[in-house]
Amino acid sequence: MGGSCAPRRRAGRPQVPFAFLLPLFCPALCEPIRYSIPEELAAGSVVGDLAKDLELSVLDVSARKLRLSAERLHFHVDARTGRLLVRDRIDREQICKERKQCELQLEAVVENPLNVFHVVVVIEDINDHAPQFRKDEINLEISESVSPGMRTVLESAKDPDIGVNSLSKYQLSPNEYFSLVVKDNPDGSKSPELVLQKPLDRETQGTHHLVLTALDGGNPARSGTVQIQILVVDANDNPPVFSQDVYRVSLREDAPPGTTVLRVRATDQDEGFNAEVTYSFLAASDKAQHVFSLESTTGNILTHQPLDFEEVEIYTMDVEAKDRGSLSTQCKVIVDVLDVNDNSPEIIITSLSDQILENSAPGMVVALFKTRDPDSGENGKVTCSLSRDVPFKIHSSSNNYYKLVTDGTLDREQTPEYNVTIIATDGGQPPLSSSSTVTLRIGDVNDNAPVFQQAAYVVHVPENNPPGASIAQVSASDPDVGANGQVSYSIVASDLEPRALSSYVSVSAHSGVVFAQRAFDHEQLRALELTLQARDQGSPALRANVSLRVLVGDRNDNAPRVLYPALGPDGSALFDTVPRAAEPGYLVTKVVAVDADSGHNAWLSYHVLQASEPGLFSLGLRTGEVRTARALGDRDAARQRLLVAVRDGGQPPLSATATLHLVFADSLQEALPDLRDDPGPSDPQAELQFYLVVALAVISVLFLLAVILAIGLRLRHSSSQATGGCFGPVLCSKSGPVVPPIYSEGTLPYAYNFCVSGAQSQPEFNFLASVDHCSATQDILNKESSSMLLASILAPSIETDEKTEKQAPPNTDWRFSQAQRPGTSGSQNGDETGTWPNNQFDTEMLQAMILASASEAADGSSTLGGGAGTMGLSARYGPQFTLQHVPDYRQNVYIPGSNATLTNAAGKRDGKAPAGGNGNKKKSGKKEKK
């Protein structure tokens, strides 16, 4: 069925590459592969084993993508077996028209390397058409005077099949007057002629009905019939005669419609009516009858439609001349169509690479195409070129095939695709040209690293942000595409611990959005340094880093915290005593507050919300110092209450309140009765309190006996003890004060210590002594019995002056120094010494404290071994102010107009106590009622 192109082989050398490359470069050495199939094969029928004829294995069929050019739609290649199959119905008469040899030119394309093979499929005719007459009925008029032997040419039948399947013979229905003679024409066709066998007699039989049958040579044979109606008329014994049997003329295909091709002429020897001749097409194809027209009276043949050399090169027509007596004759007209350059070249892309990598080397084949020009001669010779300067060029192959190859470096980021226009020009005069544009997309390689939009990022995040909220977004661009341009983000370094980093921030790998994993606290974290990395997905991957600085801004989220006055461990309120003779401007006490915020949010101001006696006291707006505004009057109550509000400078401001209890008294014994007086209405607990007082008195007597016994024991061992001034030999050390570096409980590192100096006849209260002055052995205050402590207090001083010199002087400074004051206290004028007046307690004061302790013991709320700092007495009356766990807020304090900051240094003792002694801090005998 078919042949294959097989060049000569040489032993000992590889044959396959040479066998596939040779058809492209040496077309003269091999013939195209030829197959022959009958027409009208069913779809899927096998034409031939193309892969075998091309010496391809089954694996090579798919690996090298064996396929046909998309120009022909009648065939396709089985991708598994490599066989050439019929795709669609094949009708030889439709494809090849009247051509005797019907061949279809195909191109088989393979890749790796890219080659083209020519395949010719010969379509063989089958007997699928029956002979057919142009008319269903032939009407003839024959004169009765016609002699036997007269011939009348009948219309020929047409059969589009060829060879044995074409028209073979004619048959006439049996009759006694006519017979049939078949005449062979020069072009191979057959024309039937009706021969009169005996004279006609119109009077005997005026009409004759015959059936003419046309048969082809197929097996089985097909046939077509036509009815012949013969009307017998009177004498007309001379038929027309043409001047020549064959007329031949040449005509350019660009002849416009209406052009006269030629004129046929026939003469009749008869005279009169019988000599009038009319012309008509007797045997002409439908195409010819559409293209040409014949004037019936003159015999002029004109063009009716434009000619096309590429469609029909030659027209053959039979012209009949008939006189009025129905005698006729015929001639043959042949029109040769001359070609002109009326067709532009056609560019057919047979193979095109989907994508070209930008790092492809010059000379790479990216497309295969061919040209076709249906014109002949020089009009059909085509040359190709490119329209503009592009990094590609054309290489001529064979049989009008061309290769488009790279001719320079490619850069996808600069030019992602090229629209290459191929121009084909023929050799006609004037030449015609056509163009075809192919789009060549440049494939990406990972040759560009991501680039951040900024060299560094700085974002400001207010504290207390919602967890999970986005705080920033970094963006990096990569001009590459696909995975090479797909950027992912990650955190590669930070100034935090690696384990703690994930709990603070995270970054979205796809969007670059940085999320806060927790709510930031400006007081704990001021700034965060991150190093973000953008990495593409190429192979190998490229990356870039950028720094991100997160600054946590402060918000007013901390209300002021009042450090003094504060409630005792049992919830009772502190009270302060004021000498009755205090002059205006006397420093009574000071409200101490701090704010964990910074800047303006920590700028504190103090305001009086409520006062028992308005105008009696004044409050420093920025210092919180409470001073007497005037002298105490006779009508003024001995007990005063101030409600103070502390506000910060935030927007909106936050505040806290503190209640000050002030008692005008010159001694503690004098102040205690005022404290016992309950200003509120009587309640059911009054009787219970009465019994508690009685019980307290009994317990106090027993306690006094224990104290006397303790004093005796104390005097016995005092000579052997090297004691300091605070409750025993190991109660206080002389080591320098050490300020704890971390305060987690919110109080300042100072406490009220109740100490007795060996050189004094009466004990005194020393406030705000550093807690670190006492070693761990000071827990004796919590462990020793009350009797031992009170014995030390009440015993007369027996130490010498030398021991007194060793005793550290009592610290009478209860407040912060000028640089330690919160808020803007450092900017106030006036007496800013802040010293706490020291009044010495007399025996009555101590007795009152003992009674209070006994009363508390009766209530079951305390024991003689009380908490640290209470000296075993009731915490309700303990003159203690423990500030040892206050956070260090000095770095947060904002002081307008001043560069001062808080320090841990103790303030100077820069003032003397006013006349009458300083006020003493006490705890109220009753809890503050809400």
The token duo for 393 is: 């060029």
pLDDT higher than 50, residue 108: yes
208 within 8 A of 230, measured Cβ to Cβ: yes
Q: Locate 259 and state its tokens.
A: 């052009």
* Nearest residue to 477 (alpha-carbon basis) of 507, 459, 452, 505: 452
Question: What is the average per-residue pLDDT within 741-767?
Answer: 34
How many Cα neighbours within 13 Å face the side chain of 26? 11
pLDDT at 768 > cutoff 80: no
pLDDT at 30: 58
pLDDT score for 916? 37
What are 304's two structure tokens?
């009716």
Residue 321 CA, chain-centre distance (Å), reads 85
Q: What is the mean pLDDT of residues 414-419?
A: 90
List the single range of 61-65, 461-465, 895-899 with lowest mean pLDDT.
Answer: 895-899
Dihedral angle over CA of 230, 233, 237, 242, nearest 10: -50
| CB atoms near residue 395 (< 10 Å) | 12
**What are 818-839's pLDDT values in tens digits?**
333 333 333 333 333 333 333 3
* 921-929 mean pLDDT: 42
DSSP 818: T
pLDDT digits (tens, 9 = 90+) for 362-388: 889 999 999 988 888 888 889 899 988
The two three-digit tokens of residue 801, written as one number = 């002056």
More confident residue, 24 or 598: 598
Residue 226 in contact with residue 212, Cβ under 8 Å? yes
DSSP element (H, E) containing 118? strand 115-124
**How would residue 869 be classed by pLDDT, with cut points 50, 70 and 90?**
very low
Rounded Cα distance between 75 and 475, Å, is 54
The full 3-state SS of 344-400, as one line of letters, equals CCEEEEEEECCCEECCCCCCCEEEEEEEECCCCHHHHCEEEEECCCCCEEEEECCCC
Summarised one tens digit per residue, pLDDT across range 883-904 is 333 444 444 444 443 333 333 3
Per-residue pLDDT band at 113 (split at 50, 70, 90): confident
Query: What is the amino acid identity at position 784?
Result: E
- Is 861 a residue whose pLDDT tops 60? no
Which tokens belong to 580? 């009755």
**How confident is the model at residue 562, as a pLDDT?**
92
810 against 555, higher pLDDT: 555
C-alpha gyration radius of the chain? 64
At a CB cut-off of 8 Å and minimum separation 6, what does 399 contact? 27, 118, 370
Q: Please spell the DSSP secondary structure of 858-925, one letter per residue.
A: HHTS--SS--TTTTTS-TTT------TT----GGGB--TT------SSPPP---PPPTT----EEE-S
Spell out the alpha helix ranges (H) of 821-868. Answer: 843-859
Cα 501 to Cα 410, 489, 512, 525: the distances in Å are 45, 16, 17, 13
Q: Where are the beta strands (DSSP E) in 537-611?
A: 543-553, 561-564, 574-578, 587-590, 592-594, 605-611
State the Cα–Cα distance between residues 693 and 857, nearest whole angstrom. 11
pLDDT band at 319 (very low <50, low <70, confident <90, very high): very high
Q: Which of 68-77, 174-183, 564-573, 837-846 has the lowest mean pLDDT?
A: 837-846
Which residues have C-beta within 8 Å of that of residue 273, sequence separation ≥ 6?
A: 324, 325
- The sign one gets for the Cα dihedral 884, 886, 888, 894 is negative
- For residue 658, the tally of other CB atoms under 10 A from its CB is 22
Whole-number pLDDT of residue 731: 31
Report which listed range, 20-34, 422-436, 735-749, is most confident. Answer: 422-436
The chain-wide mean pLDDT, for the chain, equals 74
pTM of the predicted model as reported, rounded to 2 decimal places: 0.41
Check: CB of residue 649 under 8 Å from CB of residue 633. Answer: no
CA–CA separation, 283 vs 293, rounded Å? 13
CB-CB contact of 181 with 170 (8 Å): no
Six-digit token string for 701 = 């007597």
Mean pLDDT, range 620-646, rounded to an integer: 91
User: In the prediction, which pLDDT does 438 show?
Assistant: 92
Averaged pLDDT, 733-751? 34
Q: How far apart are CA 785 and CA 872, in angstroms?
A: 7
H or E element at residue 94: helix 92-96
- Contact residues for 172 (Cβ-Cβ < 8 A; gap 6+): 178, 179, 180, 192, 194, 210, 211, 212, 213
Average pLDDT over residues 616-636: 91
Give the Å distances, CA to CA, from 512 to 399, 471, 538, 638.
58, 11, 18, 69
CA–CA–CA angle 551, 555, 561 (5° rounding): 130
Q: Which residues contact 443 (CB under 8 A, 6 or more apart)?
A: 355, 356, 357, 358, 412
Can you tell me the distance from the alpha carbon of 208 to that of 89, in angstroms, rounded to the nearest whole number?
A: 45
Element (H, E) at 487: strand 487-494
pLDDT at 572: 62
3-class DSSP state of 163: helix
Predicted confidence (pLDDT) at residue 915 exceeds the cutoff of 60: no
With cut-offs at 50, 70 and 90, classify the pLDDT of residue 687.
low
- Judged on CB neighbours under 10 Å (0-12, 13-18, 19+), 170 is buried
Q: Sheet containing 605-611: which strands, arranged edge to edge?
A: 605-611, 639-647, 655-664, 574-578, 921-923
Percent share of the chain, pLDDT over 70: 71
With beta carbons less than 8 A apart as the criterion, state whether 558 and 893 touch.
no
- Report the alpha-carbon distance of residue 2 to residue 15 in Å, rounded: 22
- 7 and 30 in contact (C-beta within 8 Å)? yes
Window from 173-177, 538-542, 791-795 with minimum mean pLDDT: 791-795
Q: Lowest mean pLDDT: which of 629-633, 656-660, 712-716, 803-807?
A: 803-807
Q: Residue 284 pLDDT more than 70?
A: yes
- Count of residues in the chain: 930
Does the structure show a pLDDT above 90 at 911?
no
